[in-house]
A and B are shown apart, each in its own frame.
Chain A
Amino acid sequence: MAATEERDLYDPISGRPALILGGHDFHSITEAVAGPVEAKTPPAWWLFFLPSLALLGLLGVAVSWLFWEGIGIWGLNVPVGWAWDITNFVFWVGIGHAGTLISAILFLFRQKWRTSINRAAEAMTIFAVMCALIFPGIHVGRVWVAYFMFPLPNQMGMWPNFRSPLLWDVFAVSIYGTVSVLFWYVGLIPDLATMRDRAPTALRKRLYGFFALGWRGSNRHWQHYEVAYLVLAGLATPLVLSVHSIVSMDFAVSQIPGWHTTIFPPYFVAGAIFSGFAMVITLMVICRSAFGLERIITLRHFDYMAKIILVTGTMVGYAYGMEFFIAWYSGNPYEMFTFQNRALGPYAWAYWTMITCNVLSPQVFWFKKARTSIPILFVMSIFVNIGMWFERFVIIVTSLHRDFLPSAWGYFRPTIWDVSCLLGSFGLFFTMFCLFVRFLPMVATAEVKTVLPGADPHAHHPGAHASAEQLAEEGAH
């Protein structure tokens, strides 16, 4: 394998490093991506799917019990009124951000390597936003009045408070989810047409055909399609930056020491991208080996993603340090106490878990050996996911648990139902992802084909044979 990769390292036309390895042509890309979807379900798929489905069932039980009994089943108390529910919410929204970064921001920057991973990363975004939306929905306690969150005319003549960051959040996250679905679906249309055209059964042909909307690869359609895709990328870019900024304002606009800081919006966005890329690596390591996509999702892709993790992880580390500096520099005793308490108080174990996972562990990515080693990437990506969950836990719970007066201090301990909701949300996420890789093309084949050397109409495709007439014509010129 090493020898083949050496030979394929450079694109024969541009001289740039090749993005797709192993002499793929247009048809073999289609085969490599669509083949596994049409093949018989591999037994290993059930190995992932059934445990995920079981955890999804656990979520169903936990949420049903929550609706029946109320949020008292969680370990919440006074003063810790937000704990794992909002931790999970922020964690999942953050995971989603890497998908949009890959699909939109890297598209605008013409980073063509994104084409191998953008479809799966966008799917990850949608499923992560689904998980995220559960938590603000269920944490209100009386879910049957959750419609109060939306500006719907009602018999009470009552309207929501648009001046509150909590309402900005409702709009930001639900619109983010909507735009992510639209972006993903638009990208899927040409590939759904591919699935339709090669469907082995009539039922599949009808189903894929229905969602392919009658796409026929027309260049007059591609023209509008490319504009729509570009504009969606252009809209999704400020949108994704706004979403985690607004999520951070749920905290930053309040008066709580430890929350009330101006660094939150950029710090949350960097953290979101950091955690999201870790999740992309976790998923891609499994998928590429499970579906034999090693030559489409290459070590180069992992190398790039590890660099982004290193950069964003270091930005997050800077933010951790800067929070302490500002707490000291502010001269505000409550602010100083909160941060001392964060690093040395009863939740110090959580704080140092966060620092170890988020700041120290990514430093191995300074070395190329680590950036291109699948086992190291996989372990590091899990570490980062753990660290970023703890970051949100630390921000939320350590800032709340020691209120302004010692008489109002408390300690949060999760109950079995807190744990069930968290595990259950992973169940939802992985169930959806398993269904996605089983029934939809997990690589954007139409896009990957455009980065093959033969896709440029002004290049001589090394694999294609020129017709006799074409050769004669060139001789005449």
Chain B
Amino acid sequence: MAAFGVLAEYATPADLFRACERVREAGYTRWDAHTPFPVHGLDRAMGMRRSRLPWIILVVGLGGAAGGFVLQWWVHNAAYPLTISGKPHFAWPAYVPITFELGVLGGALAAVLGMLGLNQLPRHHHPLFEVERFSRCSDDRFFISIEASDPRFDAVATRQLLERSGAAAVEMVEDPA
């Protein structure tokens, strides 16, 4: 079995925050923090870039709105031009509500599916799930994992870094795959 990496456990968000700054300063790139709730400011402490998700949502949302408008135009002007209560076929103000609604639908679907896609979820198997203490990650404990695939990873030095970062416990994690 190959090593997945090292996992360190912290008691409070404050401990985790300081440790993340240290790991970032040590130059690691393939590592992560695990918390039961989003910790304010942790993105910056970890040196993460902004999410690309808003752009995906914008494009798909506008696409939904444009599709909605074109659908209504096509139905009333090409596919089935029927005069009802004397309204013009290209009654664009009447197309506004459904254009808006389909834009919202596109944006919402893009937000959820885009979030799952960028996070590479669903993924029901992960080496961290094999670690017993990690089950408290969704309750009241805070973790840092540094992966063995990180170019700076060293079985001894990385472990020492985490041990000196205020961790309550540090352990090696195997990759069962």
A179-B104, A224-B51 are contacts. A198–B139 as well, Cβ < 8 Å?
A: yes
Contact with A along B40-77 (1 / 0, CB 8 A): 11110110100101100100010000000001100110
Taking CB atoms and an 8 Å cut-off, the chain B residues in 107-153 that contact chain A are 107-109, 111-112, 114-116, 118-119, 121-126, 128-129, 134-140, 143
Tell me if A's interface is mostly helix, strand, loop or mixed.
Answer: helix
- Size category, A interface: 35 or more
Which residues of chain A are within 8 angstroms of B112 by Cβ–Cβ distance?
A: 182, 185-186, 228, 232
| Cβ contact within 8 Å between A162 and B95 | yes
| Cβ contact within 8 Å between B135 and A182 | no
| Cβ contact within 8 Å between A459 and B14 | yes
Q: Can you name the residue of chain B whose Cβ is closest to the Cβ of A239?
A: B104
How far does the Cβ of A442 sit from chain B's closest Cβ, in whole Å?
17
How far does the Cβ of A233 sit from chain B's closest Cβ, in whole Å?
10
How far does the Cβ of B154 sit from chain A's closest Cβ, in whole Å?
22
Would you call A22 an interface residue if the criterion is a C-beta within 8 Å of the partner chain's C-beta atoms?
no
A219-B42, A455-B37 are contacts. A163–B94 as well, Cβ < 8 Å?
A: yes
A25-B140, A457-B16 are contacts. A449–B104 as well, Cβ < 8 Å?
A: no
A182-B109, A219-B35, A459-B14 are contacts. A224–B84 as well, Cβ < 8 Å?
A: no
A224-B118, A231-B54, A461-B12 are contacts. A216–B97 as well, Cβ < 8 Å?
A: no
A151-B71, A163-B87, A457-B16 are contacts. A157–B36 as well, Cβ < 8 Å?
A: no
Binding-face segment, A47-55, A91-99, A329-337, A462-470:
A462-470
| Cβ contact within 8 Å between A217 and B101 | no
Would you call A220 an interface residue if the criterion is a C-beta within 8 Å of the partner chain's C-beta atoms?
yes
A235–B91 Cα distance when bound, in Å, is 26
Which residues of chain A are within 8 angstroms of B91 by Cβ–Cβ distance?
A: 163
| Cβ contact within 8 Å between A223 and B12 | no
| Cβ contact within 8 Å between B97 and A214 | no
Which residues of chain A are within 8 angstroms of B48 by Cβ–Cβ distance?
A: 219-220, 223
A81–B140 Cα distance when bound, in Å, is 58
A455–B94 Cα distance when bound, in Å, is 48
Which residues of chain A are within 8 angstroms of B37 by Cβ–Cβ distance?
A: 190, 446-447, 449-450, 455
| Cβ contact within 8 Å between B39 and A457 | yes
| Cβ contact within 8 Å between A194 and B166 | no
Q: Can you name the residue of chain B whose Cβ is closest to the Cβ of A211?
A: B122
Binding-face segment, A57-65, A170-178, A347-355, A391-399:
A170-178
How far does the Cβ of B98 sit from chain A's closest Cβ, in whole Å?
5
Which residues of chain B are within 8 angstroms of A39 by Cβ–Cβ distance?
A: none
How far does the Cβ of A253 sit from chain B's closest Cβ, in whole Å?
9
| Cβ contact within 8 Å between B98 and A470 | no
A228–B116 Cα distance when bound, in Å, is 10
Would you call B15 an interface residue if the criterion is a C-beta within 8 Å of the partner chain's C-beta atoms?
yes
Contact with A along B70-92 (1 / 0, CB 8 A): 01100110011010100100010
Beyond the given A217-B34, A460-B14, A467-B15, could you list 8 further A-B residue pairs with CB under 8 A, ordered by the A residue number?
A: A196-B138, A216-B34, A216-B134, A216-B137, A217-B35, A224-B53, A449-B37, A467-B166
Chain A contact residues, CB within 8 Å of chain B: 25-27, 30, 151, 157-165, 167-168, 171-172, 175, 178-179, 182-183, 185-186, 190, 193-194, 196-198, 209-210, 213-228, 231-232, 235-236, 238-239, 242, 246, 249, 446-447, 449-450, 454-461, 464-465, 467, 469-470, 473
8 A-B pairs with least C-beta separation? A26-B140, A457-B17, A213-B122, A228-B115, A219-B33, A163-B94, A197-B135, A194-B138
What would 24 A/B residue contacts be, using CB atoms closer than 8 Å? A26-B36, A159-B76, A162-B71, A162-B75, A162-B98, A163-B94, A182-B112, A198-B135, A198-B139, A217-B34, A217-B138, A219-B48, A223-B48, A224-B118, A224-B119, A227-B51, A227-B54, A238-B104, A246-B97, A446-B36, A446-B37, A455-B13, A455-B39, A460-B14
